[in-house]
């Protein structure tokens, strides 16, 4: 998994989202901006970019898209590293620092040279004027990405210094090494403000447990006529077991399959119900008798399995769907589960 972390930034260099190849209307860029959902950080960032505001619809869209990629990638990285043991953690920090990020920055520098954009073309000229041309857009976007990749490199090093002892930490040397120029006289990479980041739900538990979850690919509570059976509802027992292990590791259920309740946990678990339904983990109908399985049937099955009642939160999901989607998109463990349809 670690050898793919941060590689999504390649989209902006030669993998489908190259800005110099995009030529949508202003209205289309504005539409795409509205469709973007930038998740929140799951770990306090150490740095941020202090960069001029974009002056065109295209530059604005790409800036926000790069921001989205950055938060998603850093969230995934921190989640994977935090769940790993020392040897795996060393590799997961080492690979982005030695391969992925240097490769991206070298490729980006080559692209800037090819497009004759090594020198910024988004800054005012001697008369204070900025020509809002394609050259402005491409320069703005690629230079923003340039600084963002340096920032991410520093985030990786400074969050896990014990696993990055041989990595270059001097910002000026990093700019020279990858982009052949010194750090800008007015630094673009600055200290990040303190964010209000909710603790992972596992850290909110009153009682910690070191018990392992015993995987049960079956019903284990007393049979109820109003609740569909495991065999009727679950499409793939192995995949569903993987989901439940992740649910346990993330602190939503305990080792006896009881939901762990804390502030906000019910709303989050109800949102997870919706996402796992979307991923196709449940059958669409029963066969004896033949009838469709509704989302509410799945919610009742899961509620009974986890000894909780999320009927209200499940029903209200659509009322605040965008906020829930932002939360779900920040949960790498959930996004990484295979889709069954």
Q: What is the pLDDT along the chain (341 residues), one digit of tens a residue?
A: 445 789 899 999 987 899 999 999 999 999 999 988 888 898 889 999 999 999 999 999 999 999 999 999 999 999 888 887 777 888 889 999 999 999 999 999 999 999 999 999 999 998 999 999 999 999 999 999 999 999 999 999 998 888 888 899 899 999 999 999 999 999 999 998 888 776 554 344 333 344 677 889 999 999 998 999 999 999 999 889 989 988 988 889 998 999 998 878 899 999 999 999 999 999 999 988 889 999 999 999 999 999 999 999 999 888 878 878 888 877 777 877 888 86
- CB contact at 8 A, 333 and 246: yes
- Quick one: pLDDT at residue 339? 86
pLDDT for position 81: 87
Q: What is the structure's pLDDT at 199?
A: 52
DSSP β-bridge partners for residue 190: 48
Alpha-carbon gap, residue 114 to 122, rounded angstroms: 17
Q: Which residue has 């394609």 as its token pair?
A: 134
The answer to whether the predicted template modeling score (pTM) of the entire model surpasses 0.85 is no
Phi, psi (5° rounding) for residue 253? -130, 155
In this prediction, residue 205 carries a pLDDT of: 39
Contacts of 211 (CB under 8 A, 6+ apart): 254, 255
Residue 234 β-bridge partners: 282
Q: What is the pLDDT of residue 11?
A: 93
- Say if strands 47-49 and 189-191 run parallel, antiparallel, or are unpaired: antiparallel
Predicted local confidence at residue 207, as pLDDT: 37
pLDDT attached to residue 91:
87
How high is the pLDDT of residue 210?
45
The whole-number pLDDT of residue 209 equals 44
Question: Distance between CA atoms of 151 and 190, rounded to whole angstroms?
Answer: 9
Given 3-state DSSP classes, what are the helix, strand and coil percentages for the chain, each rounded to the nearest 5?
Answer: 55, 5, 40
Q: How many CB atoms lie within 10 A of CB 129?
A: 8
Q: How far is CA 103 from the centre of its chain?
A: 21
């Amino acid at each position: 998994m670690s050898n793919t972390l941060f590689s999504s930034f390649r989209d902006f260099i030669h993998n489908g989202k190259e800005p110099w190849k995009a030529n949508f209307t202003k209205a289309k860029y504005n539409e795409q901006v509205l469709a973007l959902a930038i998740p929140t950080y799951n770990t306090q960032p150490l740095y941020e970019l202090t960069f001029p505001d974009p002056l065109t619809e295209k530059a604005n869209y790409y800036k926000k898209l790069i921001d989205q990629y950055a938060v998603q990638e850093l969230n995934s990285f921190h989640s994977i590293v935090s769940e790993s043991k020392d040897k795996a953690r060393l590799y997961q920090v080492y690979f982005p620092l030695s391969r992925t990020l240097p490769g991206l920055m070298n490729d980006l520098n080559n692209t800037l040279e090819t497009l004759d954009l090594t020198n910024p073309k988004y800054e005012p000229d001697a008369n204070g004027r900025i020509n809002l041309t394609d050259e402005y857009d491409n320069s703005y976007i690629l230079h923003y990405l340039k600084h963002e990749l340096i920032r991410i490199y520093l985030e990786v090093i400074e969050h896990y210094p014990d696993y990055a002892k041989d990595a270059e930490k001097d910002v000026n040397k990093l700019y020279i090494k990858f982009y052949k120029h010194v750090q800008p006289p007015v630094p673009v990479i600055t200290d990040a403000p303190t964010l209000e980041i909710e603790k992972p739900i596992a850290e909110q538990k009153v009682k910690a447990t070191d018990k392992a979850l015993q995987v049960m690919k079956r019903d284990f509570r007393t049979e109820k006529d109003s609740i569909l059976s495991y065999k009727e509802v679950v499409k793939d027992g192995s995949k569903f077991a993987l989901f439940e292990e992740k649910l346990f590791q993330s602190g939503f259920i305990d080792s006896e399959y009881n939901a762990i309740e804390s502030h906000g946990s019910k709303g989050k678990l109800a949102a997870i119900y919706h996402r796992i339904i979307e991923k196709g983990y449940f059958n669409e109908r029963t066969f004896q008798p033949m009838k469709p399985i509704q989302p509410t049937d799945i919610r009742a099955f899961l509620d009974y399995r986890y000894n909780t009642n999320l009927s209200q939160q499940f029903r209200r999901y659509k009322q605040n769907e965008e906020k829930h989607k932002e939360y779900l998109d920040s949960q790498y463990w959930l996004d990484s589960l295979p889709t069954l349809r």
